Structure 1
Amino acid sequence: MGSAGTRGTVTGTDTADRDPAIDLVRLVCLVLVVVGHSMMVSPVLHPDGTVTTENTLAEQDWFEPVIWIFMVMPLFFVTGGITGLQSWRRLKAGGGTAAQFIRARLLRLVRPATALLATMVAGLSAAAALGVDRQVVQLVATGAGMPLWFLAAYLAAQLNIPVLAALHHRAPWLTLALLAGLVVAVDCFRGALPDLANVNLVFVWCAVQQLGFLAADGYLAPLSRSGLVGVAVAAHLLLGLVTGLGLYRGNMLVNLNPPNLTLVILGVSQLAVMELARPVLAPLAGIRWIARLLQLAGARSLTVYLWHLPLLGAMSGLLLLTPVPKPSSGTAGWWWSRPLVVLALVLLLLPATAAFGRLEERTTAPQAFRCRPAAAGAAVVVVFIPVADAALNGLSLGLLAAGTVCFTVAILLLGGLPLRRRRAVPGGRKRGPGKRGPRGIASGVK
């Protein structure tokens, strides 16, 4: 990766080779997550002054079968596997290393998360100093920090792409079977060793990501439409079997944290449905206004995901302190208020994405691309220290502060402080010895 021309060749195709249909799927998933969370978060102020939060959807009997359709987290990881494998191969073809890939992935995810954590620590500390009840502060810290589990799981899967891609190249089906076997093994022992279940944050999502590898390499292409329908139906029948026999719960929200085999099976079904929908998705993604929306949303998707729950929690908490009528969770009035909640959340997200969205795409110093494996490895360890603590002990204001420090240290280790672009000199040459291609790897890898 020594020359600017090589970097330009590699990163210039990052956007050119992207599949608009996959981007459309990811946007739909993001919208469903934001809307779904707006129907789950429902803080309650009790007469004795205590505050609790209710997950309204999880308490609805009719919702349990519906969540089999709208639990889109597996599809996030399937599409992440498709784009991640393609990005790794492009980087490797241009002479890039695994350390550079890890650096790029870490910076793309950790920089926006650091801004979120720092803002949450400042806001919650100010609330505590102003006399807000510690229970309320803890409740907001726990609820607002929930998106971080996805960040941890997604990082764990993406950082393993160089290794998993090599295994996939040698034995794709055996690699998938091995990961699924590890998932089952952990599930078998989770009753006796509850903390062991957290290991499936790696095994489950790596297995689902591996499904994306298969799709990227065209392993589903030989299947006819009826064959894809058969795969989707068979996966759901298998889900019905393992949940009907009582081996797993039928509620996919329960199965999500910590994850288990049901999400791998659901990922198979969702992959088949996505392939079935491709003839429709591709023309839709090609419509001019939709293509523009995909471009805008794709550049800010992580910011939207990270900020929507903190903003929702803050908005809901402030409403508790006002005389605005607050219908009880699950009542008709509560359901009628949901569109207003979603609209208000979107209005709050607009300035948040404008302020912090650029952290997803900032370029860095050209020399920083020469990432040493030791620096990449140290950054991974530093990032996952607070993440592991949160998984085992839950989130708190202190842990959010520790996470801010650790994430900042990781950014410094990777040389990822945002720098301004150097201005071009007439004649097409860049100032200074460090040239750069059309877009840095740190921002181009999606």
Structure 2
Amino acid sequence: MGRPTAVERLRGTVRATAHDVDTRTPAHRDRAVDGLRALALLSVPVGHWLLGGLTRDPGGALHNASPLTTFGFLAPASWFLQMLGIFFLVGGYSSALSLRRAAGRGRSTGAWLRGRLVRLGRPVVGVAAVWAVLLPVLYAAGVPSTTLRTAAVLVVQPLWFVGIYLLVTALTPWCVRAARAFGGWTVLPLLGWVAAVDLLRYGPWAHSMPSWLGLLNLGPGWLFAYQLGVCWGEGRLGGRGARLVLCGGGALFAVLLLVFHYPASMVGVPGTDRTNSHPPSLLVLALAAVQCGAAILLRNRLDALLRRRLTLWAAVVAVNLSAMTIFCWHQTALLTLAIPGSLLDIPLPGLTTPPDTAGWLLARLALLPLIAITLLGVGRLAHRFEVPWTGIRGSSRAAVAVLAAVFASYALAVL
């Protein structure tokens, strides 16, 4: 019998690692929830890499662009790639259970909340501090200032989500009380609020409404799915309720799209005067309802799948362990390839060429593995910001915080 090939050895290593991860996983671990979190998380970089592009002007500077400007028929893809509803659902579910366990150990709500906020804030501060150093270095290396502004926008845009997530996490104790008192019906006021704001900003009187009106939907809009998750975690949203959420969300989605002509894309499209996600419109809540209802109904099947397919479960564990690193640094991975490419005199299809041809779509699809590999490399260096900052002196932490504040100020000015 011959020696095993390299591929066979790799498969053996993967299977052994997967079996080890499975053995180390506590029996009570909710694999379905972890799987849903990983799925929602991975949809963020994939969505940004597929539905966002960069174009190089004659001076070599990069500008943001979107293939949806040309290929409007791709808008339904955003229904599957925008899974923030699932992320907030799982977040609410996990927070409800975590708060309950903390109370059982005698830990105060304030201490629990500080722990959650610190864990979410560390990687955000880290990426901001690193880019505060990178910007002047890249400028000194000859990168155009327009490219740096574009880079700052790309890096900062996903981070708004962390701020909103911190806000709804801070509301967890009140969300739990509401769920225990009224169950899944607690989401109806949030739905009504967003509907009322949409009516004001899109109705016949929209021209007389202030431009900031839509910002009133930021909190209630994203709290909707989070509250569904809290209700699920408190045992107040089961199969019957999930079917109602799924069917009701689907019906509302169809009416808003076909009758009230909401934009089909779940992400912003340059040149359009309306957007669904920034801030969230009623269509976003309808989609979140469909996703959340389906997720709850499929929970047992997903759990069984992840207990049977150990390699898939090991991948889910790996993604969850690096969740915030993936989220905070995925655009940096794209820029790691795009910025050096923009300094070349030749166009790079799918990277620095306008996203307005079928060739660009094919080239970007072909580049996805390379961008993902780049993210793995960046993540190996950046993961230290996600784990506790033990061994780092107070002065060093203060320096990181100052750098992060500098970058945040610059990014806000650019936006």
Q: Structure 2 length normalisation: TM-score?
A: 0.78
Match of 1:62, as an amino acid? F
CA 1:130–1:398: 2 relative to 1, 3 Å: farther
Q: Does 2:246 align with 1:232? A: yes
Q: Does 2:315 align with 1:293? A: yes
Find the partner of 1:341 among 367, 388, 408. 367
Match of 2:137, as an amino acid? A
Return 77-86 or 256-265, whichever deviates more: 256-265
2: CA distance between counterparts of 1:170 and 1:398?
40
2: CA distance between counterparts of 1:18 and 1:339?
35
Find the partner of 2:101 among 72, 90, 110. 90
Question: Which 4+ runs in 1 deviate beyond 6 A?
Answer: none
Output one character per residue of 1:360-390: Cα deviation in whole Å (capped at 9) or x when no partner.
332769xxxxxxxxxxxxxxxx99x979x97
Output one character per residue of 1:26-57: Cα deviation in whole Å (capped at 9) or x when no partner.
21222222222111332212235554221114
Hey, what does 1:210 align to over in structure 2?
227
Hey, what does 2:326 align to over in structure 1?
304
1: CA distance between counterparts of 2:243 and 2:239?
13
Hey, what does 1:76 align to over in structure 2?
87
Hey, what does 2:339 align to over in structure 1?
317
Match of 2:376, as an amino acid? L
Find the partner of 1:329 among 352, 355, 377. 355
CA 1:173–1:228: 2 relative to 1, 3 Å: closer
Alpha-carbon offset, residue 123 of structure 1 = 0.7
1: CA distance between counterparts of 2:27 and 2:127?
30
Match of 1:352, as an amino acid? V
Alpha-carbon offset, residue 17 of structure 1 = 4.7
Find the partner of 1:178 among 183, 189, 195. 189
Return 73-82 or 49-58, whichever deviates more: 49-58
CA 1:230–1:59: 2 relative to 1, 3 Å: farther
Match of 1:100, as an amino acid? A
Q: Does 2:165 align with 1:154? A: yes
SS in 2 for 1:246: coil
CA 1:303–1:130: 2 relative to 1, 3 Å: same
Alpha-carbon offset, residue 323 of structure 1 = 4.4
Output one character per residue of 1:125-154: Cα deviation in whole Å (capped at 9) or x when no partner.
212233432222111111221111111111
Mapped contact 2:225–2:292 kept (Cα < 8 A): no
2: CA distance between counterparts of 1:364 and 1:199?
39
CA 1:162–1:15: 2 relative to 1, 3 Å: farther
1: CA distance between counterparts of 2:196 and 2:29?
36
Return 172-181 or 107-116, whichever deviates more: 172-181
Q: Does 2:296 align with 1:275? A: yes
Mapped contact 1:38–1:341 kept (Cα < 8 A): no
2: CA distance between counterparts of 1:46 and 1:101?
49
Match of 1:343, as an amino acid? P
CA 1:337–1:183: 2 relative to 1, 3 Å: same
Hey, what does 1:245 align to over in structure 2?
259
Mapped contact 2:143–2:343 kept (Cα < 8 A): no
Hey, what does 2:285 align to over in structure 1?
264
Task: After TM superposition, list the pairs within 5 Å mapping 1:400-411 onto structure 2.
Answer: none
Hey, what does 1:221 align to over in structure 2?
238
Mapped contact 1:121–1:397 kept (Cα < 8 A): no
Hey, what does 1:111 align to over in structure 2?
122
Find the partner of 1:60 among 59, 64, 71. 71
1: CA distance between counterparts of 2:263 and 2:358?
28
Unpaired runs of 5+ residues, structure 2, are 1-24, 268-274, 392-400
Return 100-109 or 352-361, whichever deviates more: 352-361
SS in 1 for 2:337: helix
1: CA distance between counterparts of 2:251 and 2:190?
21
Output one character per residue of 1:40-94: Cα deviation in whole Å (capped at 9) or x when no partner.
3322122355542211145422122332233211111111111111111111222
Hey, what does 2:6 align to over in structure 1?
none
2: CA distance between counterparts of 1:274 and 1:27?
13
Task: After TM superposition, list the pairs within 5 Å mapping 1:409-428 onto structure 2.
Answer: none
Mapped contact 1:312–1:345 kept (Cα < 8 A): yes
CA 1:361–1:331: 2 relative to 1, 3 Å: same
Mapped contact 1:45–1:51 kept (Cα < 8 A): yes
Match of 2:265, as an amino acid? N
2: CA distance between counterparts of 1:29 and 1:174?
25
CA 1:319–1:15: 2 relative to 1, 3 Å: farther
Return 208-217 or 318-327, whichever deviates more: 318-327
Unpaired runs of 5+ residues, structure 1, are 1-13, 366-381, 401-446
Alpha-carbon offset, residue 124 of structure 1 = 1.0
Find the partner of 2:132 among 103, 106, 121. 121
Aligned-residue identity in percent: 27
Q: Does 2:29 align with 1:44? A: no
Match of 2:96, as an amino acid? L
Query: How many aligned residue pairs are there?
Result: 362
SS in 1 for 2:76: helix
Match of 1:33, as an amino acid? V
Hey, what does 1:193 align to over in structure 2?
210
1: CA distance between counterparts of 2:239 and 2:37?
24
SS in 1 for 2:298: helix
Mapped contact 2:184–2:236 kept (Cα < 8 A): no
Q: Structure 1 length normalisation: TM-score?
A: 0.73
Mapped contact 1:112–1:303 kept (Cα < 8 A): yes
CA 1:215–1:386: 2 relative to 1, 3 Å: farther
SS in 2 for 1:44: strand
SS in 2 for 1:252: coil
